[in-house]
Amino acid sequence: MDKKIEGNSKDEKTSSELKVTSRDMNEGAEIWLGEKIKCLDHGFIYLVDYMGNDSSVAQAARTSYGKGTKSVSNNEGLIRRLMKDNHTSPFEMVELKFHAKMPIFVARQWIRHRTASVNEYSGRYSEMISEFYVPASSEMTKQSTKNKQGRSEDALPPEVQMEILCMLKNDANLAFYDYKKMIDAGFSKELARIGLPLSTYTEWYWKIDLHNLFRFLMLRLDKMAQKEIRVYAEAIAQILKSSYPLSFKAFEDFTLYAEKLSRQEVIALGELGMFFIKGKFQEAVEKAGIKNPREIEEFKEKLIRFGITFEIDKV
């Protein structure tokens, strides 16, 4: 039987007569709702809910400078300008909520991104799940001599790999065996958990706006980020690429794959400059995929600042 809905409208409607939602849909995000992406050996991440789409970003930006601007700047051009000029608040109007399961040591890196709402599985109320992360043999490498907080690409000898894997598994299994024994003896869960390893899996719901999610990806997609958290960042990027294609492309172009130069580097480029580029500028711009006239002009201005001169290509 249909439920009668009473509201401010003149006519009462039944639930079957109402639309599923009146908000703007995000077709790309809808596809990802509830779709788990496997991460590491026992982990996952999936999109639980979202608010907004690319148009929401543009809509928020246009609100700040009045009506009548939509015909001047389409959504793609506007979003690219927002990203390029670091106008971040319109991206904060979009939010996403994820459910993720990861090892505790990954969660402790993840939680450093503080501009999010988090609700984590509680070892005080519930028993910890007997699952822990074991790295694949391809990840069993030596400590980096250049990066004190990372690992190198130099693999350990196979026999050393096997020995370490056995130690990791044995230590974790023993820790969980003792944990279960303490729980069965009536010991409090909040204290019994303290002997469990950092490889133990935890999970949480994580809600964050699009601007701060891009900040997360900027750091965690970097090749210097730890591989185990980079796996989750890559999964999130996969979701965003189809859910917010215009915003994500702008993020890739102006943040993720862009290079920032220091003042000294700009000066050094000027000293190395005074190149004369003839008949190549337009060809280079086309190969790079720079289409927006304003972006092309700004690129020319940068070249001049770097001491690079050129002739305008003849049509």
What is the token pair recorded at 291?
């289409």
Q: Per-residue DSSP letters for 77-129?
A: HHHHHHHHTT--GGGGG-EEEEEEEEEHHHHHHHTT--SSEEEEPPTTTSPPP
Residue whose entry in the numeric block shows the structure tokens 């980079």:
230
Compute and round to an integer the Cα radius of gyration of the chain.
Answer: 26
Q: So which residues are the catalytic ones? A: 220
Question: Minimal CA–CA distance to 81: which of 311, 270, 246, 284?
Answer: 246
Phi, psi of 18 (to 5 degrees): -80, 155
CA contacts within 13 A on the Cβ side of 280: 7
DSSP letter assigned to residue 68: S
DSSP letter assigned to residue 149: T
The kind and range of the H/E element at 142 are: strand 141-143
Q: Per-residue DSSP letters for 2-22?
A: PPEE--SSSS-EEGGGS-S-S
User: Rounded CA gap, 206 and 233, in Å?
Assistant: 13
User: Going by DSSP bridges, is the β-strand pair 43-51/37-39 parallel, antiparallel, or unpaired?
Assistant: antiparallel
| Number of Cβ within a 10 Å radius of residue 73 | 15
